[in-house]
Structure 1
Amino acid sequence: MLLILPLLAFFLANVASEVSKPLPKGALEAFKKANIRYTAKDKTSYYRDRMKTAWRDDLSARALKWLQSPEKVKGGAVINGQKSFPEAEPKQLKKKVFALVSDLLEKYGQEKHVKPPILYGCNGNITKGEDNSVLSVACLYIYQ
């Protein structure tokens, strides 16, 4: 009995330390900046202006649901990825989101035809472990 109590406490501490939490609202701006920069690259300001108005909060919410259960969210193209890093301050988190999304767009953007006219929304979560945190992101794109 005395052995079971410490094992139970250890198990509960490990499970609690690896809970996924949605990204703070401020980090969502990094998604927008990365998408605007990617689509406006080598193009006129027309594309940049279109992407500024193409963000949809409902697609952002669906992207978060997609991270939790991809099979339940249908429609559109998805770009997603993960990155592990030591725990970061909120300002550093924005930079990490921007870097990860920029890398994903460079890798998959042409394949997924990420360019106006589209509507999009992105979101993510962070899972904090003992040593590192894991940043998971997803962007949903609906073609018009």
Structure 2
Amino acid sequence: MSRWAPVPAPDLADGLILFDGVCVFCSRWVRFVIARDPEARFRFLPIQSAQGRALAVRLGVNPDAPETNVAIMDGRALMKSDAALSVLGMLKGVRWLGTLRHVPRWMRDPLYDLIARNRYAIFRRTEACMVPGPDERARFL
């Protein structure tokens, strides 16, 4: 079994996305999801928060050097491309991208890993987590 295979998370709310809050790319991902999720199905938790760190450790993600975002879907914690594609599959206008989950993980995750490894160099990093606007604040834990 892969270290990044889905793991049971029945006690966590579906639609929770754990993300790297100081990563500019990851913060843009969160804003992308918010813009295409008018039903507000997704909630967000930065890994740099106390609750985010604890959840990361529980799920096997290093909170000091996260290699993946996490999405809780159907009582399971999804990692890497599984997480991203599952979320995309539920978003208005890009739902079709969710069909890429049919491509085997061993083919998808290397691209995810390449982006994840280089995200700070390509997209930069901030000193503090993103600050949601007043309309978005309720969607963040």
TM-score (normalizing by structure 2): 0.26
Structure of greater relative contact order (alpha carbons < 8 Å, 6+ residues apart): 1
Structure with larger Rg: 1
TM-score (normalizing by structure 1): 0.26
| Larger helix share, 1 or 2 | 1
